[in-house]
Amino acid sequence: MFERAMTGLHVALTAALAAMAVASVLLGADFELLAARQGNGAWWFIGIWLVLSALIAVLPGSIVQWRAGLCVSAAALLVAALAGLWRGAPHAMAMGIALLTLAAILVFSAWQLRARPHKPAHLARSDARPADWKRRLCWWIVVLCMAEAFRMAQLGAGNAVKGAGSFGMLLVFFVLLPALSVSTWFPRLAGIGWLLATVPMTWLLWRTPSVSVAIGMALVAAGGVMLLRAPVQDIDKSEMPQ
């Protein structure tokens, strides 16, 4: 169930962003993600993202989930292109062509996916791996840090707290998440990246003393240690989508 939920979150992200682009063009600036830090667009995005993630997660099979997500993203991009042309948005023609091209690439990629071959039962049992609880805990650390950073950026008291939340979201998105994404093949590199992320968090804690920042720094440090001790997993290429 954990893998299905994570797949749903990954697949639905692009579709949710495209849906927000459509909403901002058709319904006004109140649905923009960066509308003077009012937070309305961001909350709408989170709601749409979670709903799409839940709908995609219940689909049978990872191939079907990825196909559904890619097709939904393509449809949202198509509607965004048409809405921009209809409303006369700036650079509507150039953006429309770019979005239509991207939508075509997504549809083509969706139908190029192939179901992975099934292994015999005795081979599947012999290749079974223990649950990778260290990386799963790190994923939950990423979720908690991003949620708290978003709360600080949108609902924090004062510009200092809001700035700390915005910096935290950038740190999670551009450091923690990419490092964790490659931790299956490069766990040492991912662990070093997480431990290095505690350096700017220490500076942030010094500039803006906060219990949330202190707890987040401790969690990131613990996650970095777990990734350093995580084993390298060999991925059987015959199981990957073709």
Q: What is the pLDDT along the chain (242 residues), one digit of tens a residue?
A: 666 777 777 778 778 877 777 777 777 666 666 645 555 677 777 788 888 888 888 888 777 888 888 888 888 888 888 887 887 777 778 888 888 888 888 888 878 776 555 555 544 444 444 557 888 898 889 989 988 888 888 777 778 888 888 888 888 888 898 888 778 778 888 899 999 999 999 998 888 888 989 999 999 999 999 988 887 765 444 334 44
Closest C-alpha to 207, from 242, 161, 168, 171: 161
**pLDDT reported for residue 218:** 94
The pLDDT value recorded for residue 141 is: 92
pLDDT at position 95 is 81
pLDDT of residue 214: 92
Question: How many angstroms separate the first and last alpha carbons of the chain?
Answer: 23
> What pLDDT score was predicted for residue 225?
92
Orientation angle between helical segments 187-207 and 159-171, nearest 10 degrees: 170
Q: Both tokens of residue 114?
A: 């192939």
What is the structure's pLDDT at 196?
93
pTM over 0.75: no
Three-state SS letters, the chain:
CHHHHHHHHHHHHHHHHHHHHHHHHHHCHHHCCCCCCCCHHHHHHHHHHHHHHHHHHCCCCHHHHHHHHHHHHHHHHHHHHHHHHHHCCCCHHHHHHHHHHHHHHHHHHHHHCCCCCCCCHHHHHHCCCCCCHHHHHHHHHHHHHHHHHHHHHHHCCCHHHHHHHHHHHHHHHHHHHHHHHCCCCCHHHHHHHHHHHHHHHHHHHHHCCCHHHHHHHHHHHHHHHHHHCCCCCCCCHHHCCC
The pLDDT, as a whole number, for residue 215 is: 93
**pLDDT on residue 120:** 53
Phi/psi at 83 (5° precision) = -65, -40
